[in-house]
Structure 1
Amino acid sequence: MRGFAGIVAAGLLLAGCGQPAELGADKAWVRLPAVAGRPAAAYFTLHGGAQADTLLAVSTPAALRVELHQTTDHQGVKSMQPIHDVPVPAKGAVEFAPGGRHVMLFDIGPGVKPGTRIPLALAFAGGKRIEVQAQVVGAGDPPPHP
C-alpha cells in the first residue's frame, strides 16, 4: 500500500510542475461612491505568468473614463496620483486594494447598483487582454472578498 501512495504523490507533484504559470486576475470588485457623480473604485489581484508583463489599461462599458491610480502616504499626508502602468512580476502577485493601487471609474452608469457585476477588461503590454467580472458593493459595504 505504501508503494501505491508514493506513486500517487509523485503523480500529483509532476502534474503541478507541468503547468506553466499563466497571467491572470481574480477577486475583482467595485466600490460605488458615497456621493452621486463622484468616481467609483475598482480593485482586484493580478497574478503574473511565466514571464513578467505590464498592465497598461483597464476599461469597462460601465464607465465613461477609467484611470489607474496609486495612493501614497508622505509623512502622514495621503494623496492619489494617476499612474501609467503597473509592472507584474513573473509568477508574482500585484494587489489593487483600498489605500494603494486602484482603478478609478468616472461617470459610472446609473444601472450599476450594489449586488450587480460589471466587466473589467485588463490590457497588458505583452498583448494579452483579460476580462474579469467585478462584484459591485455600496459605499459603506464591506469588500466581497476576505
Structure 2
Amino acid sequence: MPVTKRNLPPRASLALICSVALISMVAGCGKTPDSPTESNEATLSGPDAKPGMVASDGKLVLPIVAGRPGAVYFTVRNDGAEPVTLAGVHVSGAAKAEMHQSNGGSMAKVDSLPIDPGASMVFAPGGLHVMVFDVSPGLKPGGKAELTLTFSDGDKLSMPLQVEALGSDTGGGGMSHEGMDHGSMEGMQH
C-alpha cells in the first residue's frame, strides 16, 4: 500500500514532507561553482571575478635564501569576447608582487599585460613571471598561498598557489636570478 499523507499520523506526515524537501534541495546541489576544480583551475565566480578569465597551474617557488625574492608561475586565459588588460598582482604571504619579463639574460618589470580574446599568457621560468618580495617565513613547501590578478577595469580573479622549494622536481625549473642583468631595474630590491 502506498504511503500517503492521509494515512500517516501528523508527526510522520511532517517528517515525510521535510524528507522530500531535503532530498529535493540536495539533488540540486551537485557542484560548487565558487571553488577551484581539481586541476587547480580558478574559474570566474563571485562579484569581483573577471568574466571570461580562467587561471590555472599556479605555484609559488620560494627563494633559496631567505630575504631574496621568490617567483610565481601560472597560466591565465581569456575565454571572453573582449580584450582585457592584466594590471596588477597580489600574493598572500608576500609584502609585494610584480609582473616581470625575462629576455636574453635581463629582466624588466611589466606594468600591464594585454590579453586578447582566446589568448593564453603563460608565466613560466625564463619568460613572464611574478616576482614576490619579503616572503613570509610562514610559507613552507607543500603549503598554499593565493594569487589575485587585478585587471584594468578593477575586476579580479584569485587562484590557489602550491608552495614549492626552488630546485624541487616541479619548482622553478632551476631558474635562478643570479647572473641576471638587473641594471634596467634601478631601485628594485633584488
Tell me if TM exceeds 0.5.
yes
- Give 3-state SS (helix, strand or coil) of 2:56's partner: strand
* Distance in structure 2 (CA, Å) of the matches to 1:60 and 1:113: 14
Q: 1:81 aligns with which of 108, 120, 123?
A: 108
The structure with the larger Rg is: 2
1:128 positional shift: 1.8
* Distance in structure 1 (CA, Å) of the matches to 2:163 and 2:146: 10
1:129 positional shift: 0.2
* Distance in structure 1 (CA, Å) of the matches to 2:170 and 2:116: 25
Q: Which runs of 4+ in 1 moved over 3 A?
A: none
**Preserved contact between residue 23 and residue 50 of structure 1 (Cα < 8 Å):** no
| Residue 47 (structure 1) aligned with residue 74 (structure 2) | no
- Give 3-state SS (helix, strand or coil) of 2:64's partner: coil
* Distance in structure 2 (CA, Å) of the matches to 1:25 and 1:138: 22
Whose strand fraction is larger, Structure 1's or Structure 2's? 1
1:117 positional shift: 0.9
- Give 3-state SS (helix, strand or coil) of 1:140's partner: coil
* Distance in structure 2 (CA, Å) of the matches to 1:60 and 1:92: 23
- Structure 1 residues 87-143: Cα deviation after superposition (integer angstroms, max 9, x where no partner): 111111110000000000000001100001101110011332000000011011122
| Residue 96 (structure 1) aligned with residue 123 (structure 2) | yes
Task: Give the partner amino acid of 2:62.
Answer: L
RMSD: 1.4
Q: 2:132 aligns with which of 105, 117, 141?
A: 105
Task: Give the partner amino acid of 1:87.
Answer: P
Task: Give the partner amino acid of 1:99.
Answer: G
Q: Which 5+ residue runs of structure 2 have no aligned equivalent?
A: 1-50, 172-190
| Residue 137 (structure 1) aligned with residue 164 (structure 2) | yes
TM-score, reference length from structure 1: 0.78
Q: Which 5+ residue runs of structure 1 have no aligned equivalent?
A: 1-20
Task: Give the partner amino acid of 1:67.
Answer: E
**Preserved contact between residue 113 and residue 137 of structure 1 (Cα < 8 Å):** yes
* Distance in structure 1 (CA, Å) of the matches to 2:82 and 2:154: 13
1:86 positional shift: 1.0
Moved more, 30-39 or 96-105: 30-39
* Distance in structure 2 (CA, Å) of the matches to 1:58 and 1:127: 12
Number of residue pairs aligned between Structure 1 and Structure 2: 120
Structure with higher RCO (Cα < 8 A, 6+ apart)? 1
